[in-house]
Structure 1
């Protein structure tokens, strides 16, 4: 009897699992995943499908998922493993939605505890203020507004990218954010930021197309891409690091501005449930990660403990 032929070629894998891959791509677009996440998740899923060696997806099961993750651990860290697991979980969720699978074996596999308990990287409030001084260039006001939305409102880079003119409610002093899971979230704006966005709106470049509704427009007259926003942030952080040795070794990014916002809000004593809503988290456990970083508050709390030395002396 002829043995099962291993699928090694990418085209063969795409042909063998064409329906499932097409369903997953459509599902991610419909669910509001960013283009970057779609590409990354699809790449992970293609690697997973290659590990199945042509077997039906339904037969993979929990052991198939773990086998793939273990093979990746040899060359990658815990964060990469968890990203791969998230991609596979989403893949099976898509198949179930399209009635191409009946169960999600990836849900039975736990994420790495090391990554789950990892402290978020963030800037202190004074460092966040200092970083703004390093935003320069022809479109400085636009770029500052982008930083403010991520660092003082907690927006994801994809949410900044998707922000449209109609989402800015200047009279009400709020923005409507289209976030993960295709959920809308209204975020009240600090008065200073609301006024600044009005100013940026007045300076907004004329789009290439009259139908373009993007709030942030590139010099070519198109919606500012996620990559362009990340480039603006990276250039600013590079200049900031050169003059501030304390943050030189920090892996700063757009998402770290979001971390900074959550940390700042909790340090100010805001209710974690309110911060959860502002961040657009689906679970309060995710928001709770930012409570781990506030060591100064714990130190101050313990300093208030009064031990009666005369009673034990």
Structure 2
């Protein structure tokens, strides 16, 4: 079952994180029904599982929806047995919380606690609104210094987008790229193996993995081996960046539960606070729905139609 799920997911070019998430919920569903094969189950069993998640596990609405998406994918794409109508499911009532947002000064205090390259990665998350995965996956070819543009490849939802490159990061990014270029020309030990490439590009362009433009901006210090036994260098693992940011938050004494994604929230609120159009912010963040971006107007306390408190 796992091999079939993996094969269909990769044919449809879903991300590795989606593959792991979907398999987690499919396995959870099977175990919930005492290892019964999904072909022997249907809408009723899916309804029972989703209702149990809401009532007994008290999961968030987004988590319940994620589980449903995984099971719809299983029956529709893998088993070729669409679920159809699953009946009335008890919906999770757990409310959506407003995101934690930092002030500009707090964001800079956290960034100042970081060492390289995590300091540069955090600066990109705050200055360009990148997710931590997007920042770690940047390649040299994704930076356009003359136009000050960063291209995000295969972002959330398998979409590409462009975002701004902060003027204060042009110099540090150019220095970082130049250090990679010098080491690449000298063919040091770090470049003895090719970098990992998406999809079938390694077969289509055999030398691309050794080309300078395809080098990771933030490469992993260790090598990786894929399912076929090919050794390559992957990008910096996001968990190492997340751990470093959590430690920096503690050292900065911010007093907020902040992490990597908090920089992205802060990027959005700072742009709106400075009078930028919400649709422009939506494009920079890569949100498909404007309502997702509008959550930041609530964080700012806007939309009160000029009403003032009785205390002034």
After TM superposition, is the score higher than 0.5? yes
Once the two structures are TM-superposed, the CA of residue 91 in structure 1 deviates from its matched residue by 4.1
Q: 1:239 to 1:161 in 2, by over 3 A?
A: closer
Aligned equivalents of 2:244, 2:106: Cα separation in 1? 16
Which of 99, 102, 106 matches 1:123? 102
Secondary structure of the structure 1 residue equivalent to 2:255: helix
Q: For residue 239 of structure 2, what is the aligned residue in structure 1? A: 230
- Whether 1:194 aligns to 2:194 is no
Would you say how many aligned residue pairs link Structure 1 and Structure 2?
274
Secondary structure of the structure 1 residue equivalent to 2:170: helix
Deviations 1:184-236, CA, capped at 9 Å, x for gaps = 1011212222332112212336434242522211334733343xx33233234
Once the two structures are TM-superposed, the CA of residue 46 in structure 1 deviates from its matched residue by 0.9
Which of 138, 148, 151 matches 1:173? 148
Deviations 1:262-311, CA, capped at 9 Å, x for gaps = 2222222222211111111111121122222113x567933499x9xxxx
Q: 1:59 to 1:219 in 2, by over 3 A?
A: closer
TM-score, normalised relative to structure 2? 0.73
Secondary structure of the structure 2 residue equivalent to 1:114: coil
- Whether 1:218 aligns to 2:220 is yes
Q: 1:225 to 1:181 in 2, by over 3 A?
A: same
Pairwise CA RMSD = 3.3
Q: 1:78 to 1:112 in 2, by over 3 A?
A: same
Larger helix percent: 1
Q: For residue 159 of structure 1, what is the aligned residue in structure 2? A: 134
Q: 1:46 to 1:285 in 2, by over 3 A?
A: same
Higher mean alpha-carbon deviation, 268-277 vs 34-43, is at 34-43
Q: 1:301 to 1:73 in 2, by over 3 A?
A: same
Q: For residue 182 of structure 1, what is the aligned residue in structure 2? A: 158
Aligned equivalents of 1:292, 1:108: Cα separation in 2? 32
Q: For residue 60 of structure 1, what is the aligned residue in structure 2? A: 42
Contact 1:23 1:94 in 2 (8 A): no
Q: For residue 276 of structure 1, what is the aligned residue in structure 2? A: 282
Contact 2:113 2:251 in 1 (8 A): no
- Whether 1:207 aligns to 2:216 is no
Contact 1:120 1:293 in 2 (8 A): yes
- Whether 1:100 aligns to 2:100 is no
Q: 1:239 to 1:278 in 2, by over 3 A?
A: closer
Once the two structures are TM-superposed, the CA of residue 89 in structure 1 deviates from its matched residue by 0.8
Q: For residue 288 of structure 1, what is the aligned residue in structure 2? A: 294
Aligned equivalents of 1:50, 1:66: Cα separation in 2? 15
Secondary structure of the structure 2 residue equivalent to 1:238: helix
Aligned equivalents of 1:153, 1:88: Cα separation in 2? 33
Contact 2:58 2:92 in 1 (8 A): no
Aligned equivalents of 2:281, 2:108: Cα separation in 1? 20
Q: Which runs of 5+ in 2 are unaligned?
A: 184-189, 195-208, 224-232
Q: 1:288 to 1:299 in 2, by over 3 A?
A: closer
Once the two structures are TM-superposed, the CA of residue 23 in structure 1 deviates from its matched residue by 4.6
